[in-house]
């Protein structure tokens, strides 16, 4: 486990969720250093109901945005990648701009359902 003075701004680190509040998610990086991912750093759905997406004890990867004086508290952002998309239940059809790929595939799925007698 890293010591507080070894953390650098911009670094991607692992931590565990220790609290979920309407204003943000608390993350423990080590025994003496913790931080907050403010709701302004979350996706819209996550910020509307953080308890639906985040659980105490859940391991997460975060990016250190700022280290507060004293080095015991940090401002964080979730590190987004394939792992976090799976955590959120995102399918391979989802994009950052919405579900445009699903729209394109929908006609095919409907036709297949009709052919199978499902609808």
Q: Which CATH architecture has domain 4-88?
A: Beta Barrel (2.40)
φ/ψ region of 74 (left if φ > 0, alpha if ψ in -120 to 50, else beta) reads beta
Domain segments of the chain as ranges: 4-88, 92-119
pLDDT of the residue at 98: 54
Which three-class secondary structure state does DSSP give residue 107? helix
pLDDT of residue 94: 47
Say what the pLDDT of residue 79 is: 83
Give, for 50, the enclosing helix (H) or strand (E): helix 50-53
Q: In the predicted model, what is the mean pLDDT of residues 79-99? A: 51
pLDDT tens digit sequence for 64-76: 999 888 877 888 9
Which comes out higher in pLDDT, residue 83 or 14?
14
Looking at residue 101, its pLDDT comes to 61
d(Cα 43, Cα 50) in Å, to the nearest integer? Answer: 10
Which distant-in-sequence residues (6+ apart) come within 8 Å of 22 by Cβ? Answer: 39, 50
pTM of the model: 0.62
Kindly state the average pLDDT of the residues 53-64: 92
């Amino acid at each position: 486990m890293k010591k507080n003075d070894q953390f650098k701004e911009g670094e991607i680190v692992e931590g565990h969720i220790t609290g979920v509040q309407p204003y943000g998610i608390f993350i423990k990086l080590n025994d003496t250093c913790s931080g907050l991912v403010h709701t302004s750093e979350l996706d819209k759905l996550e910020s509307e109901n953080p308890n639906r997406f985040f659980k105490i004890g859940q391991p997460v990867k975060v990016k250190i945005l700022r280290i507060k004086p004293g080095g015991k508290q940090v401002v964080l952002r979730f590190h987004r990648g394939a792992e976090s998309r799976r955590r959120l239940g995102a399918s391979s059809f989802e994009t950052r701009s919405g579900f445009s790929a699903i729209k394109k595939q929908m006609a095919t799925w409907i036709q297949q359902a009709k052919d199978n007698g499902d609808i």
